[in-house]
Structure 1
Amino acid sequence: MKLVKSLLLGSAAGLTVVAGAQAADLPVKKAAPVEYVRVCSAYGAGFFFIPGTDTCMRVSGRARFEAGYTQSYTRGNANNGGDLMGYQGLGRLNIDARTQTAYGTLRAFVRFDLASRTGAYLYSGTLNRIANAFPAQGIDTFNRAQQAVNVDKAFIQFAGLTAGRAASFYDFYAHDFEMIGTSLGSDVFSTNLLAYTATFGQGFSATISVEDPIFRKTPLFGNGSATVANAQYQVFGAGSGNFTPVFATNAAGVPVGEAFYDVVQRSRMPDFVGVLRYDAAWGSAQLSAAVHELNTGNANLIVPLPGIVSTAGATAPRPTTEYGWAVQGGVKINLPFIAAGDSLYLQGSYGEGATMYTGYNRYNGAYAPSGNVAAGSSFNNFYSDAVVDPFTGKMELSTSWTVVGAYLHYWTPQWRSAFIGSYGEQSFGKSSRNNLAAATTLIGSALIGNPASPLFAYSNVLRDTNQLVAGASLIWSPVKDLDIGVEGLYARQGLKNGRVVDANKATGAAVGVNAAGLPVTAAGLVLPTVSSTDSFQVRMRVQRDF
């Protein structure tokens, strides 16, 4: 037994040694090598390869502080009237991904803006109206504080195709030299579009773009309804509509009642934009054109005119569709012989029924029916693209035009200034304004007034106007990508002819005119009148790009 036990133990020990030797001869599995981020030099500084792919990406952003002071003619109203100061903190994140393909570069670009803003001017009603921000609801903060969450850009570019949310191809000088874009001129910095750009060599290119019309709509004029007394521009009310009257006639063609068009425009057709562009070492030039649909809803709710008992069988004109249009030309000239980095923009635009394309309402009326240069100022400027004639039911388009010049000058590599000047005019058809005033007088709406009364000449509603916006800035860049600057602006709105009651200084409502033809209150007090109103603004900014 001892012998057998010794043999078994010896055999086991031998097998263990052999197994250990064989295990030592097996290859050892090594850890996978670490793939470090590699620089991608094909598309400029800051790009790197996404590990495991052939796509290059660049991550960049911005941090900004702004403060502004603006003139105010009032100490308070329902929104932010009376506030003189405003503040904003903004954060931006950019992601740019590019891949080289057999068809050229495939690019995807996304930009997110997050902002907290308060007070005069830096608070933006436009951002609320286009669903890019939401306001505070507190007692002292109601509509005076605002949080903005915006997908500013999200587009794909491939083989001449651009698809997604991007800047409108119609635009040229898009307030490039301004801290906050306020000069007159088109600047829809983000819209949804599908475009194709063909390049012909030698710097020439052409673009056809199909663009979202929502971001170019200015409300059509609406003046009261039978259901909502004097309800001008109820477009902002839930379900209340935006009504304007149209005469209903009997079988003999005699007006017997008033129907109402809902002039809230529906999105039925995209805007079409065409662009010709030339780029060279000396600068660039661009010619743009756009077509924009205007439409209204059907007439309804026929109300008898005074003295009419029945409107049975009465009919109203069917609504028509009109097409606004605009053209724009611009040139950018590089001026290195004055100073490195100097350049000059010159641009002009003309349109009918396309106020957002000419940019006449850019300063204070974007996406709004009217606006003024400062809270509580002397009168409002009206911006409607069209007015419905109550006798024919047809739209009479407004016309507008703007010109702008902007010059950027470097005093030194660290100090620069921009000088901006712009001017524009807008006109409404006289027949539609007069007819609308006559029609609304019959139903007791006093928004425009009776055209037969001398007081009608002092109404500011749908008046032909002009605007001037000018400014200058001084910016210090002590180190790369850091800007510290201040900007001052002057704006004036005026009538092309005549005067209006000064809403800022009036001490009562005008009910008529005296022997001298001046507007007076019921007590006979003469009311002040004006032909223009102006305002001043100062802003400062600290901004770091990375």
Structure 2
Amino acid sequence: MTRNTERPHLGLEALEMMMKLLKSSLLGSAAALAAVGAAHAADLPVKKAIPVEFVRVCSAYGAGFFYIPGTETCLRISGRARAEVGFQTNENRNVGSQVGDVSLFRSLLRINMDARTQTDYGTLRAFIRLEAASRSGAFSTSGTQQRIANAYPALGVDQFSRVQQYVNTDKAFIQFAGLTAGRASSFFDFYAHDFEFVAATAGSDIASTNLLAYTATFGNGFSATISLEDPNFRKNTVLSASAAATTAQQSGTSAAQIFFSNYSLSPLILQQAANGNATILAFQDVIERSRMPDFVGVLRYDAAWGSAQVSAAVKDINIGGAFNQGLAGAAGVALPAANSAAALAFANARGIRGGSQTTEGFAVQGGLKINTPFIAPGDALYLQGAYGEGANVYTGVTAYTGTYTQSGTPTNGGPFAQYLSDATLNPLTGRIQLAQSFSVVGSFLHYWSPSVRSAVYASYSETNYARGAREALSLTQGIIGANAGAASFVTNPALFALSPVLRDNYQIVAGANLIWSPVKDLDIGVEGNYINTGMKSGRVIDQTKTTGVNNANFAALNAAGAIKTLNNYDAAQVRFRVQRDF
């Protein structure tokens, strides 16, 4: 049998041919499918990728500005972190909040946002600044800020008036075509404690007030501003005296003693008893109403050598009505009913008219800043002076002791109160009498090197009350802080002579600081202040060494040498600060 050796060879060729045909078919089919898919894809909508918009630098307004994406508005975000530790002299360990405290701590944050847009009318600007702080210890809590609702205290027995949180809408204003509207620094201010840590020198410094102002520029550095400003941030009260009086219900010649104390009311003496004792028959509401804005006018000049400014302000002082409280009188004196014809007759005899009263206070200020680069680059000198009537916050005599109160001790636990009211109500005439005040301040900044600088500063201020105001108030009871020990309505003249109530007073502040900036926008510094507060004449009781004095025991204590007096009071404060701006 012969083997057929040709068949296997013929089968391999056929297989190779079939594989080639299959490969050609597959490739053709794939090409056809690709062509059909491309044809269909051409008929579908194409979804484009969202373009990425990068933040652009805005160089029109200085470093740090960038365009808000999608707008032509430039924005700069900045802020501050600050830490302070300090020490203050305080030798008083008597009962009272913060008495005896000497250490203080404070941490503060600040956030700024500055938005600007160029328009056909010039730059449209909006600026906001928020501040918050935590404070504790001696003089680190602020009664001034608490009185205007910028701060709130801890309520613990050991923390009240010693621990405080602080929140403030410091700035929120709009500027456009010369108009400034919102919460901003008062246009009246000039130096405004620019070179100080604590802002202790006398001088106006209202960093946050609500206002509506217009500024006109005349070229060559001259400008003028008219500003309507919130009056509530420039009121330092019309003095009200608490009164120790007797009740109207009397039995024979005896009188039940009561102690009347209300800061909203001031006593009026409508009748005087035959024996010379004062008979208090009514009380006047002395809370100031908000009727009109403060009117501020400013002329300013800015040049390469520095700047100069003249400011003036007029403020409304408006109080409530009289005869709206119960009556009181000395023992055995018949009392007319409140608002009766007899009471009104007594008032008319003294020229007192019931109802509200209005008068005007004013302040003027001049300031000069001189750049002194011939000493060192960055050096500058400030000089400023102010005078006012019924305008103690404008002259800044309240800067260290405290604002929005009729009196306060220079430091917590101080030996006497410094009286700083804008005005007083004369109890004999029922008329408002304005206080006069003035302040002068100087401050010099020097750069020892580009990274080391220091400032020295000093101020002198006075507060003077109208002639007769103190004497008239001496006829009322309780204004020395103690109830009468006898039925007499005449305050002991010798005791009242040692009272600080409505005493003309002065304050001297001097200080210096040293700041090291090892890197840009970082400050490490220390500052020390000396404060002297005193009476322009006479002496007052030292409350840290003499307590519980009243009409009944004054003579005995005085004879025994137990009453200690002084004319002025010294205080010192040191603060260490670390601050980073960005």
TM exceeding 0.5:
yes
Please tell me the residue identity of whatever aligns with 1:538.
V
Instruction: Kindly tell me the number of residue pairs found equivalent between the two proteins.
Output: 519
- Give the whole-Å Cα distance in 2 for the aligned partners of 1:486 and 1:17: 80
Please tell me the residue identity of whatever aligns with 2:183.
R
Counterpart of 2:505 in structure 1 is 465
Partner deviation per Cα, 1:112-150 (whole Å, 9 max, x = no partner):
111111011121111111101111111221221111111
Query: Which residue of 173, 178, 181 maps to 1:163?
Result: 181
Partner deviation per Cα, 1:398-421 (whole Å, 9 max, x = no partner):
000000000000111111111010
- Give the whole-Å Cα distance in 2 for the aligned partners of 1:86 and 1:450: 43
Secondary structure at the counterpart of residue 425 of structure 1:
strand
Partner deviation per Cα, 1:169-200 (whole Å, 9 max, x = no partner):
00000000001211001001100000000000
Partner deviation per Cα, 1:507-534 (whole Å, 9 max, x = no partner):
65265899xxxx7617733422211111
Q: Which moved more, 1:215-224 or 1:73-82?
A: 73-82
Counterpart of 1:40 in structure 2 is 58
Counterpart of 2:7 in structure 1 is none
Partner deviation per Cα, 1:42-61 (whole Å, 9 max, x = no partner):
00000000000000000000
TM norm structure 1:
0.90
Answering whether residue 193 of structure 2 is matched by residue 175 of structure 1, we say yes
Counterpart of 1:63 in structure 2 is 81
- Give the whole-Å Cα distance in 2 for the aligned partners of 1:286 and 1:88: 34
Counterpart of 1:415 in structure 2 is 452
Answer whether contact 2:321 2:357 (CA < 8 A) is retained. Answer: no
Equivalent residue runs for 1:336-485 within 5 Å: 336-440=373-477, 450=490, 453-485=493-525
> Would the alpha carbon gap of residues 195 and 520 (structure 1) be closer, same or farther in structure 2, given more than 3 Å must change?
farther
Secondary structure at the counterpart of residue 430 of structure 1:
coil
Partner deviation per Cα, 1:317-368 (whole Å, 9 max, x = no partner):
2242111110000000000000010000000000000000000011112112
Counterpart of 1:246 in structure 2 is 268
Partner deviation per Cα, 1:63-85 (whole Å, 9 max, x = no partner):
11001100113125432221111
Query: Which residue of 563, 575, 578 maps to 1:527?
Result: 563
Counterpart of 1:23 in structure 2 is 40
Please tell me the residue identity of whatever aligns with 1:535.
A
Answer whether contact 2:241 2:479 (CA < 8 A) is retained. Answer: no
What is the CA distance between 1:451 and its match in structure 2? 6.3
Counterpart of 1:273 in structure 2 is 296
Q: Which moved more, 1:163-172 or 1:130-139?
A: 130-139
What is the CA distance between 1:111 and its match in structure 2? 0.4
Query: Which residue of 318, 324, 329 maps to 1:305?
Result: 329
- Give the whole-Å Cα distance in 1 for the aligned partners of 2:410 and 2:492: 30
- Give the whole-Å Cα distance in 1 for the aligned partners of 2:366 and 2:238: 26
> Would the alpha carbon gap of residues 508 and 32 (structure 1) be closer, same or farther in structure 2, given more than 3 Å must change?
closer
Equivalent residue runs for 1:318-329 within 5 Å: 318=354, 319-329=356-366
Query: Which residue of 509, 517, 524 maps to 2:549?
Result: 509
Please tell me the residue identity of whatever aligns with 2:538.
G
- Give the whole-Å Cα distance in 2 for the aligned partners of 1:323 and 1:413: 48
Counterpart of 1:291 in structure 2 is 314
Answer whether contact 1:68 1:121 (CA < 8 A) is retained. Answer: no
> Would the alpha carbon gap of residues 480 and 446 (structure 1) be closer, same or farther in structure 2, given more than 3 Å must change?
farther
- Give the whole-Å Cα distance in 1 for the aligned partners of 2:371 and 2:118: 31
Secondary structure at the counterpart of residue 46 of structure 1:
coil
> Would the alpha carbon gap of residues 441 and 133 (structure 1) be closer, same or farther in structure 2, given more than 3 Å must change?
closer
- Give the whole-Å Cα distance in 2 for the aligned partners of 1:249 and 1:453: 20
- Give the whole-Å Cα distance in 2 for the aligned partners of 1:14 and 1:415: 79
Query: Which residue of 474, 481, 486 maps to 2:526?
Result: 486
Counterpart of 2:250 in structure 1 is none
Counterpart of 1:282 in structure 2 is 305
Equivalent residue runs for 1:93-108 within 5 Å: 93-108=111-126
- Give the whole-Å Cα distance in 1 for the aligned partners of 2:483 and 2:158: 34
- Give the whole-Å Cα distance in 1 for the aligned partners of 2:552 and 2:535: 21
Secondary structure at the counterpart of residue 433 of structure 1:
helix
What is the CA distance between 1:452 and its match in structure 2? 6.7
- Give the whole-Å Cα distance in 2 for the aligned partners of 1:446 and 1:485: 51
Gapped runs of 5+ residues in structure 1?
A: 1-11, 236-241
- Give the whole-Å Cα distance in 2 for the aligned partners of 1:197 and 1:59: 26
Larger radius of gyration between Structure 1 and Structure 2: 2
- Give the whole-Å Cα distance in 2 for the aligned partners of 1:332 and 1:446: 53
| Identity over aligned pairs, percent | 55
Please tell me the residue identity of whatever aligns with 2:507.
Q
Answer whether contact 1:50 1:57 (CA < 8 A) is retained. Answer: yes
Please tell me the residue identity of whatever aligns with 2:516.
W
- Give the whole-Å Cα distance in 1 for the aligned partners of 2:318 and 2:450: 52
Counterpart of 1:495 in structure 2 is 535
Answer whether contact 1:223 1:231 (CA < 8 A) is retained. Answer: no
